[in-house]
Chains A and B, each alone.
Chain A
Amino acid sequence: MSYPSYTLKILRGSPGKQYWEEFELPLRTGENVISGLMEIQKNPVNKKGEKVTPVVWEQGCLEEVCGSCSLLVNGYPRQACTALIENYIRETGKRVITLAPFTKFPLIRDLIVDRSRMFENLKKVHAWIDTEGSHETGFGPLIPQAKQEVMYSLSTCMTCGCCLEACPQVNAHSKFIGPAAVSQARLFNAHPTGKMQRHLRLRPLMEKGGISDCGHAQNCVEVCPKQIPLTDSIAAIGRDVTLQALKDLFSFQERD
């Protein structure tokens, strides 16, 4: 069976040695960027007819809950699994789609970058609830429905990195921690138990690279694949950080 074709134009290679390579692929029903990349694995021949190494990329759930397959599709940060080829062809009128690795993280190879920094940032902002451990008994505190809604939304962050990639303040010259970690601080501060340690989340965000480095470009909230209200989080944490700073100034006992 023969299918119409489309082209994936991919920025490949290792740090300092990147190059573009094109692959012509069959356009089957429901084709997405991932199924295109899988097709290249089976037959790694580029548009010039040269046998090359298969493209490498990160992938996992393929249903946009794991955050693995982040990359730039036509320059826009997103998850590759939900990038449907036919939609791109329809919207751009072109049969060529470009794929490139994120630029704000160290490049590993082809479309893979190292996003470890984001996980280290979760340690910095104390992104967990402190408990005595699993041996305790009983339910947690009651949570109103409206609060659960907000917490659930914040908690769907997949640590995919789209918000950092889109943020102009995240760059080689800045230490800005980025929207994702700020929003996680808000999540745990919203929880009645987590609230007790809110100072441990707010103080790191007072430092250089913290909340004051946000430039309010609002790109983060636009690219977030989970529509997390990141700019609300930044505003809320901004207020709390100011309050915490005042508290720290006037209440010496609470300082640790």
Chain B
Amino acid sequence: MAKQRKEVIVVGGGLAGLSAAMRLAENGCKVKIVSVTKVKRSHSVCAQGGINAALNLMGEQDSPFIHAYDTIKGGDFLANQPPILEMCMSAPGIIQMMDRFGCPFNRTPSGHLDVRRFGGTLYHRTVFCGASTGQQLLYTLDEQVRRHEVKGHVEKFENHEFLRLILDGDGRARGIIMMNLFNHKLEILRGDAVVVATGGPGLIFKKSTNSTFCTGAANARLYMQGMRYANGEFIQIHPSAIPGQDKLRLISESVRGEGGRIWVMGNASKSILAPNGQTIPCGETGKPWYFLEEMYPGYGNLVSRDVGAREILRVCELGLGVEGQMMVYLDATQLSEEQKHKLEAVLDIYEKFTGDNPRKVPMKIFPAVHYSMGGAWVDWPASDSSDRHQRFRQMTNLPGCFNCGESDYQYHGANRLGANSLLSCIFSGLVVGEEAPRYLDGLSSYGMSLPSSLFDEALQVEEEFKNSLLTRSGPENVYKLHEELSDVMVRNVTVKRNNQDLAKTIDTIKELRDRYQNISLDDKGMFANQTLQFAHQFGSMLELALVITKGALLRNEFRGSHFKPEFPERDDKHWLKTTLATYAPDEPQISYEPVDIRHLDPEKRDYTVAKKMKPTLKNIPERVELPL
């Protein structure tokens, strides 16, 4: 049939969305980017510390295979291994690409890229731009995408929100319904492939390190349309954030990477069970107790994030927190002027929000909801699979609907290592940029030839839902319901979980879902009505909250970020499997699929000893086609 112009919709303009858009444009597609904000303001700007790549710049004999080993182990063996292997193999090329695009990475005196150490590894493989690496990487891709925009390859629909995927009679994605956030008109956007790169769902917990855009609503709406959601229960809690009324502001792991130390005032009359099985006193009374360094001599302050967050909570629960509160010290006062300079952006933020100068006094920090390892289930035929070219990487179970970045589930297993998220965003976006055009090439018909009734019907469904929100007239306020949801989620579904409270949380969410029917909007206008926008998001956020909570309730083990003291061990025999949630009106249907562990057998995750070793990965395919 006649060659059609390949039209692809990219929902979300963060690092993953822009990376996909750039590569799609290079591959001859006409790209339409839909974003709730100016893409340059997307949440990727908040990533501070850096991006990992085994460039081996420090003579440490680092390699992409060791990077893959650290990532698989850091994720407590829950992640499928083939996509991780290819991500780590592509990482050096990704850094080179961003370097050519002019990303202002920090430099060594000879003008080469500088690297720092990050959590969960013994190697210096984190490339960075001061302490605002995500911002700089995002700006670099924003610039490249603007270049394509000027050439006419990319069109942006900013201040528009994705509401619904349009599916044809065969269940293939053919476009979306979106809402203009200024006048609330609903619009049809046609495209034969839809890429969703909308980030994480941190706002379900309200106060998190996430931007206020990160409601998870796009993924939640897709889930309600039949998209499978995987490993929802794995929510990363970052060890270090500044408590606040409106959000919990991240204090980057790079502070510890540069030598920052975590401590509380010791109290020898109290004791704690150390990971080596011995009960030890809580330091010396009246002297700083560097509890991570004492309990994890191998990795010290750079243990993986789930371990760090749990130990901080444990120490605070013993009453050793700063001034008896749920806070510990993060001390950067002893760092050299040069190190402090590299951390300037993050130290400035601390000073701006607390009034204390972290160059002179230790910071007070506490763990906060930070990242979702879970997300849309996406496919990944391995390089040597016989059906590699019959299937499509990063494609959800809805044909033609791709998903990448934090909104997919693919790269981090049960816990993400610091500085791997920026990498997985760019990598998965590039992969989509290759796979979506291949999908389009194989289509037998294009959306432009489909009847307009298909699109109008989807529009009608959304018009009706919008009108139903505007006409609800009960006593409930949607922002107050949000606060109730987040209170129970933070209390029961974060660092420490138990089945009794998880079961109760499911009941609470369902009760909130009933009360949501009885909201009335304090603003019924049709111009920049943020109450309408949020009320629309909140219904789907409740469904995603159920996915997270039910997955956690059923998983009776301790793996990565999912810590359940009733079941204190990782249980590979029963639980080395991916959780899959499928929408049902009452609560999600949960099923499981095996994890692809072809490269590395599960082993105990141990951060108490430091030994640099050369891991052997098995079954490496002979030929791997990397996107770079």
Contacts and interface: CB of A to CB of B under 8 A. Distances in A.
Interface string A45-57: 0000001011010
B45 A65 contact: yes
B585 interface: no
Contacts of A137: 93, 96, 628
Nearest to A85: B245
B100 A136 contact: yes
Nearest to A124: B150
A14 interface: yes
B496 interface: no
Nearest to A58: B37
Contacts, number: 190
Contacts of B104: 143, 148, 151-152, 155
Contact of A109 (B41, B247, B430, B528): B528
Nearest to B533: A56
Contacts of A64: 349, 352
B45 A66 contact: yes
A42 B482 CA distance: 10
Nearest to A55: B530
Nearest to B341: A149
Interface stretch (A25-33, A171-179, A236-244): A25-33
Given A41-B531, A133-B26, A148-B104, A62 B41 contact: no
A67 B97 CA distance: 26
A108 B182 contact: yes
A138 B522 contact: no
Given A129-B102, A138-B100, A188-B102, A156 B135 contact: yes
B109 interface: yes
B100 A35 contact: no
Contacts of B93: 137
Interface of chain A, helix or strand or loop or mixed?
loop
B46 A63 contact: yes
Nearest to B522: A44
Contact of B523 (A54, A133, A138): A54
30 contacts: A30-B244, A30-B245, A30-B354, A32-B353, A35-B245, A42-B477, A42-B483, A56-B529, A56-B530, A61-B43, A61-B45, A61-B46, A63-B353, A67-B40, A67-B41, A109-B527, A110-B528, A123-B149, A128-B102, A129-B143, A131-B101, A134-B22, A136-B100, A138-B96, A139-B113, A140-B102, A142-B112, A144-B111, A151-B102, A191-B102
Interface of B: 22-23, 26, 37-38, 40-43, 45-46, 93, 96-97, 99-102, 104-113, 129-130, 132, 135-136, 139, 143-144, 146-147, 149-150, 182, 211-213, 243-247, 249-250, 345, 349, 352-355, 430, 477, 479-480, 483, 522-523, 525, 527-531, 628
Given A59-B212, A140-B96, A151-B102, 4 more contacts: A32-B245, A32-B246, A63-B247, A152-B136
